[in-house]
A = this chain, B = another copy of it.
Amino acid sequence: MIKTATAAFLAILTSLTFLLFLYSPTTPKSSYHSLFISASLSSNTSISRHLHTLTRRPHVAGTPANAEAATYVLSIFTSSNLRSRITPYHVALTYPISRSLTLTPSPSSPPVNFDLQQETYPGDPYADVAAEVVPTFHAFAKSGDVAGDVVYVNYGRLEDYETLNKMGVNVSGAVVLARYGEIYRGSIVQIAYEEGAVGVLVYSDRKDYGGGGGGRWFPEEKWLPSSGVQVGTVYNGLGDPTTPGWASTEEECERLSDEEMDQGGDLPLIPSLPISGADGEAILRAVGGQVAKDDWQGSGNAPTYRVGPGPGAVHLSYTGKQVIEKIENVIGVIEGEEEPDRFVILGNHRDAWTFGAVDPNSGTAALLEIAQRLGKLQEKGWKPRRTIILCNWDAEEYGLIGSTEWVEENRNMLASRAIAYLNVDSAVHGQGFRASATPQLDELLKQATQQVKDPDNSSQTLYQAWVGSGSSPTIGRLGSGNSDFAAFVQYIGIPSADMTFGKGYPVYHSMYDDFVWMEKFGDPSFHRHVAVASLWGLVALWLADAEFLPFDYTSYALELQKYMKNLEVEILDKNINLTPLFKSIEELKEAATIINNQRREIEQQNNVWPAVWKKNRFKVREVNDRLMMAERAFTDQDGLFGRSWYKHLIYGPSRNDVYGSESFPGIDEAIVKAKRLKTAESWKFVQHEVWRVARAVRHAAKVINGELT
């Protein structure tokens, strides 16, 4: 009898212990989130130290200096208690071997040789490593030796050639001189090639980039020194060009031959060089012909720009070497406690054309700050519900190579498990917060910015600064190919965001993008860096810890309606039926309402039942999976017409400017073509593209609804 009683007592005791174990009070996630953005965990001095260390030497992809930077990132990840590793790829990169540029101002005058050097200045703390700066060049430029009269083509856009055409100027056989500032340099070269040019020079006009004339070459103001040159890639694809659509995991993996790459159309077929504002102006002085339009002119005491051709002629010679080089992504992981197989991914690249104080290591410094803050949260007992992955990409500057190869290698796992990707490239290049996102994240960004202080005015939130005098902030979209979100959004369809402070900045991709510039102009107090780290990390924490994913597809539907309205205007009187698109967006809107209601219903049940109640836990996962997978449904296996790597039918790069983001890129391109060709067939193709988008939107609605037909 006593034995039975004891047994019963023990049984009861065990039960109670078990229940206590299940319901043991834990610190709520939200207090960890508050801690994450609190002053006690934030450190502008530590961020500044990270940036200083990362930017000690120029660190182009594939160099020992960049491997050294990778080691630093890895060490901070590891010491912050992240499971960390380096993931290498073997990719095609190019480096300059020799460049020369000669101007013959007129047939009678002697040729002038340009030295193509960016100059150091007295007291330059980086003078001792200036020799390590890569000579100014265009990555993936075609090697070659060309000569021709110069034609000035303004920003090198399609419309600029139309203007020239109307003026009776054609660039066939000429070397064109374009200025940076409106479109992607790879697009400048591509368009010039299509227009018949034999070579391309691209300079930074002081109208757009400032830059002192004369002997003033120290950046005392936020100007690009007159010898400053914007280096950069002219590759129009993304990822290793020798392995389109697959990962360059080994040196001896399958690779396209040079001929196959040339046929692919993403690599330039004529040589090009970037040059300084001073050199550009010198060439412009030798260009005669008609005076260019007002908005083609320079600023201040610039000479009058004429379009040519000639009489100035240039001789441009460029030899680059293409090599298969090892690049290194650094990956750090905090495994989710409850849902280790759901990923929130933060990414920033590490490789820089020169010192990279702005681009990209302001972002890297913020990423390291996040790693350290998360390390401290872990020490205090926090574990994320879902897995958080910090990625530090390599070879972004060559064409988003590190991130693209990684996404291609891990595409199946990412497609079924990635919740969101949060990108920060250059975290700070000045004042003014800006963000782009796939629209289901809009609301999340608005809420998160309300939790972070404006680094430039502590009496208001970042949200208030962002909104400014408007009623709601402007949120960009992620169709362009200008940073590492591209593969995540455009190849897999992962909800993504991109954040930064500041817009244009003069020293972009020049050797003057160094710690001195950042301290002096970009972010003297490093409080903007701190704000980026806080916001970026907070968004990640919310995504990782929230029971329900904070995705709002009503925003998405409203955005799509906006694009459809624009479309209506564009195709007025063209007999294109937009009804299927209209209907599908309605379906998406309804689905968004349905899933919001389901979420609310489960939340109410969860208040009644203990959290451990099993059915609801799988129900929550089921709803979250629909929220996660809906974005995938906007992608189509066939991809954009003629650019099949780009799978996303809502957002993609503009055909004539990889940095330009289009909504409905397939429809848009078809319309441009139809308006040019003016054939019934080409308009029928527009209708086909409308149908495709409508079907993708409907697929997304179905995923959100969660019902099979």
Mark A residues whose CB is within 8 Å of B. Answer: 11-12, 15-16, 18-19, 87, 245-246, 249, 253-254, 331, 337-341, 343, 389, 406, 409-414, 416, 580, 612, 614-615, 617-618, 621-622, 625, 629, 632-633, 637-639, 644, 647, 687-688, 691, 695, 699, 702-703, 706, 708-709
A10 to chain B, nearest CB (A): 12
Task: Determine if B637 and A338 form an interchain contact, defined as CB atoms under 8 angstroms apart.
Answer: no
User: A389–B637 Cα gap in the complex (Å)?
Assistant: 26
Of B249, B580, B688, B708, the contact of A413 (CB 8 Å cutoff):
B708
Task: Determine if A703 and B612 form an interchain contact, defined as CB atoms under 8 angstroms apart.
Answer: no
Chain B hits for A622, CB < 8 A: 340-341
User: A406–B632 Cα gap in the complex (Å)?
Assistant: 19
A211 to chain B, nearest CB (A): 43
Chain B hits for A615, CB < 8 A: 337-338
Chain B hits for A339, CB < 8 A: 618
Of B249, B338, B412, the contact of A703 (CB 8 Å cutoff):
B412
Chain B hits for A87, CB < 8 A: 709
Q: Nearest residue in B to A89 (C-beta to C-beta)?
A: B709
User: A337–B622 Cα gap in the complex (Å)?
Assistant: 13
**A interface: dominant SS:** helix
A587 to chain B, nearest CB (A): 11
User: A637–B18 Cα gap in the complex (Å)?
Assistant: 49
Q: Nearest residue in B to A337 (C-beta to C-beta)?
A: B615
Of B341, B414, B691, the contact of A254 (CB 8 Å cutoff):
B691
A621 to chain B, nearest CB (A): 8
Task: Determine if A410 and B708 form an interchain contact, defined as CB atoms under 8 angstroms apart.
Answer: yes
Of B254, B338, B411, B629, the contact of A412 (CB 8 Å cutoff):
B629
Chain B hits for A11, CB < 8 A: 16
Task: Determine if A688 and B618 form an interchain contact, defined as CB atoms under 8 angstroms apart.
Answer: no
Q: Nearest residue in B to A387 (C-beta to C-beta)?
A: B708
Q: Nearest residue in B to A414 (C-beta to C-beta)?
A: B708
Assuming the contacts A622-B341, A709-B87, asked whether A632 and B412 have C-beta atoms less than 8 A apart, the reply is yes
Q: Nearest residue in B to A389 (C-beta to C-beta)?
A: B708
User: A156–B633 Cα gap in the complex (Å)?
Assistant: 43
Task: Determine if A702 and B637 form an interchain contact, defined as CB atoms under 8 angstroms apart.
Answer: no
User: A615–B340 Cα gap in the complex (Å)?
Assistant: 10
Task: Determine if B412 and A702 form an interchain contact, defined as CB atoms under 8 angstroms apart.
Answer: yes
Chain B hits for A703, CB < 8 A: 412-413
Of B413, B633, B639, B644, the contact of A702 (CB 8 Å cutoff):
B413
Q: Nearest residue in B to A18 (C-beta to C-beta)?
A: B19
Supply 8 further A-B pairs (C-beta < 8 A) apart from A12-B15, A18-B19: A19-B19, A87-B709, A340-B622, A341-B618, A341-B706, A412-B632, A416-B625, A637-B639
Chain B hits for A254, CB < 8 A: 580, 687-688, 691
Chain B hits for A644, CB < 8 A: 638
Chain B hits for A625, CB < 8 A: 341, 416
User: A12–B409 Cα gap in the complex (Å)?
Assistant: 54
User: A644–B413 Cα gap in the complex (Å)?
Assistant: 23
User: A637–B343 Cα gap in the complex (Å)?
Assistant: 23
Chain B hits for A406, CB < 8 A: 709
Chain B hits for A253, CB < 8 A: 580, 691
User: A617–B254 Cα gap in the complex (Å)?
Assistant: 41
Chain B hits for A412, CB < 8 A: 629, 632-633, 699, 702-703
User: A331–B253 Cα gap in the complex (Å)?
Assistant: 46
Q: Nearest residue in B to A338 (C-beta to C-beta)?
A: B618
Chain B hits for A691, CB < 8 A: 246, 253-254
The 4 A-B residue pairs with the shortest CB-CB distance, nearest first, are A254-B691, A637-B637, A341-B622, A412-B633
Task: Determine if B331 and A708 form an interchain contact, defined as CB atoms under 8 angstroms apart.
Answer: yes
Chain B hits for A639, CB < 8 A: 637
Task: Determine if B647 and A637 form an interchain contact, defined as CB atoms under 8 angstroms apart.
Answer: yes
User: A412–B699 Cα gap in the complex (Å)?
Assistant: 7
User: A413–B618 Cα gap in the complex (Å)?
Assistant: 17
A542 to chain B, nearest CB (A): 20
Chain B hits for A632, CB < 8 A: 412
Of B16, B245, B341, B706, the contact of A638 (CB 8 Å cutoff):
B245
User: A343–B618 Cα gap in the complex (Å)?
Assistant: 15
Q: Nearest residue in B to A579 (C-beta to C-beta)?
A: B252
User: A615–B246 Cα gap in the complex (Å)?
Assistant: 35
User: A688–B253 Cα gap in the complex (Å)?
Assistant: 11
Task: Determine if A629 and B709 form an interchain contact, defined as CB atoms under 8 angstroms apart.
Answer: no
User: A612–B702 Cα gap in the complex (Å)?
Assistant: 32
A93 to chain B, nearest CB (A): 20
Which one of A410, A621, A637, A687 has the highest number of Cβ atoms from chain B below 10 Å of its Cβ? Answer: A637
6 A–B contact pairs at CB < 8 A?
A: A249-B709, A253-B580, A331-B708, A414-B708, A637-B639, A638-B644
